[in-house]
Each structure stands twice: as structure tokens, then as C-alpha cells.
Amino acid sequence: MPATGISLDAALDLTRSGDVWLFRGRRMADRAIRLTTNSPVNHVGISVVIDDLPPLMWHAELGKSLPDVWSGRHHRGVQLHELREAVHIWAIKYGQQAWLRQLEPPITRDAEDALLQTIARLDGAPFPSTARLVTRWLRGRLPTTKSRPRASDLEAAYCAEVVAITYEAMGLLPGQRQPSWYDPGRFWSGDDLALTAPARLGGEIAVRIH
């Protein structure tokens, strides 16, 4: 890819449902997330591109600057936003660099249905506290005999958990890990995230925001 990346308009034209958006910021909170999770990025979301609707982003965040497209309300936690506006918020308000990773091949109709069903189940789930976030992330790395939580059972969701649960529902992840095992860096190309064949994520495409 060109070192200068592509414009946001070009990225919006390019993106399809299932593509991953990654963000990296310089604030203390951003650095704390990366330090805690040993991740090169601090936020991740998924593109949702359905018919003639504007591209959307499915993710979890602390802020409530934008209306949630699914519920029509402003709230914190798991949200569905207009993609252009969400990227603007993360780039301009939060000072983050954005990257796009494209999912190949394009998702099937069944995977699209599973994506929408997951949005219906999880939308509005609250974002965990920092202490709870760290505890869950650590617990996800410990051996356990407990059954894996279902998406409908989660009381709070962290951005990477939302992506992992959604990808699993879409048949893109094998479901061998606890959702809390995932952090944003798992979706960076430097990690060895194994998607269910033939699915794969392409390299990072830097997105320029003016």
C-alpha cells in the first residue's frame, strides 16, 4: 500500500461488511490499554455495509457522542454508528490514527444474517470499568473448565470481545477461546489470528483524515 495511505472517502467506498477498523492514539488512556493488553492498537471495530445504507461501524466505546443507529439513542457501550462519523470522532476528537483491514472473501448471506443477529443481541451492552476490563482480560488467558459465555449473557462488553463474538457468530472464528482472550492487537497483522478458512484479513491500509 502507499506510505501515505488512502482518503476516508476511498476507504468508505472500499469497505465491506466484516472488514476491521483499527485505531491507535496517544492519550494516557490509549497507552494504558496498549500497555495492559500488550497491543500495538487500542481500539477495533467492524464495518457493516448493508444494501443502500451508509457504511456503519459496530464497536464498543466509552463515549456517547453519536446516536446509536440501532436504538436511535445516545449511550455508552456497544454501539452501531455511521462509519464516517465514527472515524471522524476517533481521528479528530480522540486524536487517533485509523487503519482498515479488508476481509477476504466477501461474507455470505448467512454470515450477514449472523452479523445482524449479533447486533440485535449485544447493542447497548455497557462498557466495563477499567478494573473489570483488566480482570476479564487476564481471566481469558487462564485455563478454565467453565462453559463459554453466550453473547446474550454478557453484561458488559469490551471492543475486542465484541469483534470476537461477532466474528465467531459469523463463522469466521473457530470459537476455541474465551471472548475476553481477545484484545485489539489480536486483529493487527502482526498477530497470528487464525480465521476459519478460507477467510483472511488483508494488511493494514492507513486512512487519512482531514
Q: Per the domain annotation, does 122 fall within a domain?
A: yes
Largest CA distance in the chain: 49
- Alpha-carbon distances, residue 64 vs 27, 118, 163, 166 (angstroms): 18, 20, 19, 21
Q: How far apart are CA 162 and CA 60, in angstroms?
A: 7
pLDDT recorded at residue 33: 63
Please state the domain count of the chain.
1
CATH code for the domain of 43: 3.90.1720.10
- Pairing relation of β-strands 200-201 and 103-104? antiparallel
Domain of 187? Answer: 6-208
Q: What is the pLDDT of residues 61-78, one digit of tens each?
A: 888 999 999 999 999 999
Q: Per the domain annotation, does 194 fall within a domain?
A: yes
Does residue 184 contact residue 158 with C-beta atoms inside 8 Å?
A: no
Q: How far apart are CA 99 and CA 32, in angstroms?
A: 20
At residue 53, does pLDDT exceed 70? yes
pLDDT recorded at residue 3: 47
Cell of 66: 453519536
At residue 103, does pLDDT exceed 60? yes
Q: Model confidence at 191, in pLDDT bands (50, 70, 90)?
A: confident
Three-class secondary structure of residue 116 per DSSP: helix
Q: Per the domain annotation, does 144 fall within a domain?
A: yes
User: Under 8 Å CB-to-CB from 94, ≥6 apart: which residues?
Assistant: 23, 25, 27, 30
Cell of 191: 498477530
At residue 29, does pLDDT exceed 80? no
Neighbouring C-beta atoms of residue 138, cutoff 10 Å: 12
Phi, psi of 179 (to 5 degrees): -55, -35
pTM of the shown model? 0.84
Q: Per the domain annotation, does 46 fall within a domain?
A: yes
Q: Per the domain annotation, does 112 fall within a domain?
A: yes
Cell of 103: 476481509
Q: How far apart are CA 64 and CA 73, in angstroms?
A: 9
Q: What is the pLDDT of residues 76-98, one digit of tens each?
A: 999 999 999 999 999 999 889 99
Q: Per the domain annotation, does 188 fall within a domain?
A: yes
Q: Per the domain annotation, does 201 fall within a domain?
A: yes
Does residue 203 contact residue 2 with C-beta atoms inside 8 Å?
A: no
Q: Per the domain annotation, does 1 fall within a domain?
A: no
pLDDT recorded at residue 137: 53
Q: Model confidence at 149, in pLDDT bands (50, 70, 90)?
A: very low
User: Residues 24, 55, 118, CA angle at the centre, nearest 5°?
Assistant: 85
